[in-house]
């Protein structure tokens, strides 16, 4: 692979994860079907702006984002099976084609784009023209070649099979579950989850309270537990046979008075000592369209992966985080645990505490009831941490696939680039280097503590189960590649 374009492609992915499509495309060489990587150069740059427009503000919302990305990457994988000697797809294996030759990515690229197009048309029909353009622009004047035509058929076939295969997997993607025949509510709960506390009042101090969120300049809404059914979704791996125990969050049990107080105090102490580096790392991991996929792209560059290897790697990490999400959501629902903002307010009322005082306020004395976490608190119960588990499963599967713990990724944060404190944080340009995958996962967990959205147990206890999930994901995809699973 050409080192120059892949550097440019990486920049594209990074920019696309932050900015609209048009600017992401500036200064890029034209996509070369034969030598390029459609995932990095075509599909991600087309999709990310729509995610930021229609799905998520800052790249949080993992349960929904991972849903979309997994369908897309699964389509790549199933389409790629046609170009592999032994691999079978998850939902279909298109007719075998001429096996992939690393000197010509053309057919595999087209099949990946065509598969993505099917998924994207189903998920984002209002942008149908964009998905058509994505394919047409990539193919250019080669649409008449039999190899390209066959690739479109392969990709389309694979995309349809993935879409239909996952349509009724329990996620309520089309919003019709629970007997909903009119006014579909995609991804809405159909299982009858109801929070034990309201935004107005806490009656069950061990349990989750929906937070109040501001919309626009002066409207407020209360959270609903996002996709409480995600824990019931069909996993890729034999997730529920993996034996992944998790103790209850004893310290969040308000009956354990001392521990309940201690873990709340620990969050305030971290809030009071937030550094610029901690703030920027917290934001880095909050953006699930940046931290996770870009680290995978970086690793693929270091390894000099060809396009088929890239697809196998990328699908492995998608399976890992998709299944990790299922496990986390099942546990979140089971324990329905209190977030720090609730227990801090309950314990201290309006008494002054020392903490981060809000954007631009630094560390100061504020009434405990008015304390807010540095990162916006997510719309699901606290225990265990989704981000920590996703990072751990991702780091594990990346080690399995690449055969090394080395990552060596230097991430720059330019002065004032914070989305929480724009123009202010960080005060000067920063760099952070992730030497290893273990460090990548470890720091990820820490940021959830620094940023005040989690207690410690939610982060440290996921290490073993989420490592196991990552390992299982790698083995699962290896099985498919070897043709051993259907």
How, if at all, do strands 352-356 and 363-367 pair? Answer: antiparallel
Q: What is the DSSP string of 245-260?
A: -----GGG-TTSHHHH
Name the minimum Å distance from CB 466 to a copy of itself: 24
- Positions in 180-199 near a copy of itself (CB under 8 A): 180-183, 185-188, 194, 198-199
Could you tell me which of 259, 275, 249 has the C-alpha nearest to residue 460?
249
Name the minimum Å distance from CB 283 to a copy of itself: 18
Buried residues in 3-31 as b, exposed as e (16+ CB within 10 A): eebbeebbebbbbbbbeebeebbeeeeeb
CB-CB contact of 346 with 205 (8 Å): yes
Distances (CA, A) of 61 to 136, 226, 235, 268: 31, 8, 19, 25
Residue 344 lies near a copy of itself (rule: CB under 8 A) = no
Taking residues 22 to 61 in sequence order and writing x for each that binds a copy of itself by CB under 8 A, - otherwise, the string is --------------------------------xxx----x
**Quick count: other Cβ atoms within 10 Å of Cβ 440?**
22
Name the minimum Å distance from CB 366 to a copy of itself: 4
Residue 129 lies near a copy of itself (rule: CB under 8 A) = no
Name the minimum Å distance from CB 377 to a copy of itself: 12
Nearer to a copy of itself, 8 or 224 (CB): 224
Name the minimum Å distance from CB 316 to a copy of itself: 25
Name the minimum Å distance from CB 128 to a copy of itself: 12
Name the minimum Å distance from CB 221 to a copy of itself: 4
Say how far apart CA 146 and CA 125 lie, in whole Å: 28
CB-CB contact of 207 with 194 (8 Å): no
Could you tell me which of 237, 270, 264 has the C-alpha nearest to residue 251?
264
Could you tell me which of 150, 173, 179 has the C-alpha nearest to residue 70?
173
* Binding residue for a copy of itself, selected from 32, 145, 213, 265, defined by CB under 8 A: 213
* Binding residue for a copy of itself, selected from 24, 44, 73, 123, defined by CB under 8 A: 123
Name the minimum Å distance from CB 200 to a copy of itself: 5
Residue 222 lies near a copy of itself (rule: CB under 8 A) = yes
Nearer to a copy of itself, 103 or 217 (CB): 217
Residue indicated by tokens 């008449």: 144
Say how far apart CA 413 and CA 14 lie, in whole Å: 12
CB-CB contact of 228 with 458 (8 Å): no
Residue 87 exposed, middle or buried by CB count within 10 Å (0-12, 13-18, 19+): buried
Could you tell me which of 164, 468, 168 has the C-alpha nearest to residue 320?
468
**Quick count: other Cβ atoms within 10 Å of Cβ 348?**
18
Nearer to a copy of itself, 157 or 329 (CB): 329
Residue 204 lies near a copy of itself (rule: CB under 8 A) = no
- Chain center to CA of 77: 18
Candidate ranges 216-224, 278-286, 293-301, 413-421; the one touching a copy of itself (CB under 8 A): 216-224
* Binding residue for a copy of itself, selected from 141, 144, 200, 245, defined by CB under 8 A: 200
Name the minimum Å distance from CB 45 to a copy of itself: 19
- Positions in 227-256 near a copy of itself (CB under 8 A): 227
Taking residues 369 to 388 in sequence order and writing x for each that binds a copy of itself by CB under 8 A, - otherwise, the string is -xxx------x---------
Candidate ranges 6-14, 175-183, 444-452, 462-470; the one touching a copy of itself (CB under 8 A): 175-183
Residue 350 lies near a copy of itself (rule: CB under 8 A) = yes
Q: Which residues contact 166 (CB under 8 A, 6 or more apart)?
A: 71, 74, 91, 173
Nearer to a copy of itself, 215 or 255 (CB): 215
Residue 364 lies near a copy of itself (rule: CB under 8 A) = yes
Candidate ranges 224-232, 268-276, 289-297, 394-402; the one touching a copy of itself (CB under 8 A): 224-232
Distances (CA, A) of 366 to 100, 282, 356, 357, 369: 62, 22, 9, 7, 8
* Binding residue for a copy of itself, selected from 125, 144, 146, 179, defined by CB under 8 A: 179
Residues in contact with a copy of itself, counted by CB under 8 A, come to a total of: 49
Residues near a copy of itself (CB under 8 A) are 54-56, 61, 64, 67, 123-124, 179-183, 185-188, 194, 198-201, 210, 212-224, 226-227, 350, 357-358, 361, 364, 366-367, 370-372, 379
């Amino acid at each position: 692979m050409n080192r120059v374009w892949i550097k440019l492609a990486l920049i594209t992915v990074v920019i696309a994860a932050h900015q609209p499509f048009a600017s992401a495309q500036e200064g890029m060489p034209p996509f070369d079907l034969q030598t390029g990587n459609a995932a990095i150069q075509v599909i991600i740059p087309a999709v990310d702006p729509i995610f930021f427009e229609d799905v998520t503000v800052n790249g949080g919302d993992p349960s929904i984002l991972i849903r979309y990305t997994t369908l897309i990457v699964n389509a790549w994988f199933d389409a790629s099976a046609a170009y592999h000697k032994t691999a079978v797809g998850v939902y279909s294996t298109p007719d075998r084609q001429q096996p992939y030759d690393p000197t010509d990515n053309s057919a595999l690229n087209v099949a990946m784009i065509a598969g993505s197009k099917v998924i994207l048309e189903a998920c984002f029909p209002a942008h149908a023209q964009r998905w058509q353009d994505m394919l047409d622009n990539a193919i250019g004047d080669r649409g008449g070649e039999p190899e390209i035509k066959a690739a479109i058929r392969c990709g389309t076939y694979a995309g349809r099979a993935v879409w239909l295969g996952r349509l009724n997997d329990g996620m309520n993607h089309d919003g019709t579950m629970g007997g909903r025949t009119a006014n579909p509510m995609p991804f809405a709960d159909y299982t009858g989850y109801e929070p034990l506390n309201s935004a107005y009042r806490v009656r069950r101090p061990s349990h989750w309270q929906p937070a109040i969120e501001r919309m626009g300049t002066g409207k407020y809404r209360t959270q609903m537990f996002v996709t409480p059914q995600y824990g019931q979704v069909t996993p890729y791996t034999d997730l529920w046979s993996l034996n992944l125990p998790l103790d209850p969050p004893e310290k969040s049990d308000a009956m354990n008075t001392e521990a309940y107080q201690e873990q709340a105090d620990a969050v305030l102490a971290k809030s009071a000592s937030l550094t610029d580096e901690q703030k920027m790392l917290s934001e880095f991991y909050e953006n699930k369209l940046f931290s996770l996929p870009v680290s995978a792209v970086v690793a693929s560059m270091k390894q000099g992966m060809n396009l088929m290897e890239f697809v196998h790697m990328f699908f492995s990490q998608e399976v890992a985080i998709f299944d990790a999400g299922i496990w986390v959501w099942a546990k979140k629902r089971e324990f329905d645990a209190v977030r720090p903002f609730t227990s801090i307010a309950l314990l201290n009322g309006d008494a002054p505490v020392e903490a981060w005082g809000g954007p631009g306020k630094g560390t100061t004395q504020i009434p405990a009831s008015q304390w807010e976490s540095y990162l916006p608190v997510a719309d699901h119960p606290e225990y265990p941490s989704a981000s920590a588990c996703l990072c751990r499963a991702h780091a594990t599967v990346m080690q399995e696939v690449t055969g090394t713990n080395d990552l060596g990724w230097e991430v720059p944060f330019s002065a004032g680039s914070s989305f929480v404190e724009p123009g202010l944080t960080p005060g000067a340009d920063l760099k952070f280097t992730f030497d290893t995958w273990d460090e990548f996962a470890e720091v990820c967990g820490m940021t959830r503590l620094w940023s005040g959205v989690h207690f410690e147990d939610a982060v440290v206890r996921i290490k073993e189960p989420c490592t196991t999930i990552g390992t299982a994901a790698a083995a699962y995809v290896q099985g498919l590649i070897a043709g051993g699973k259907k």
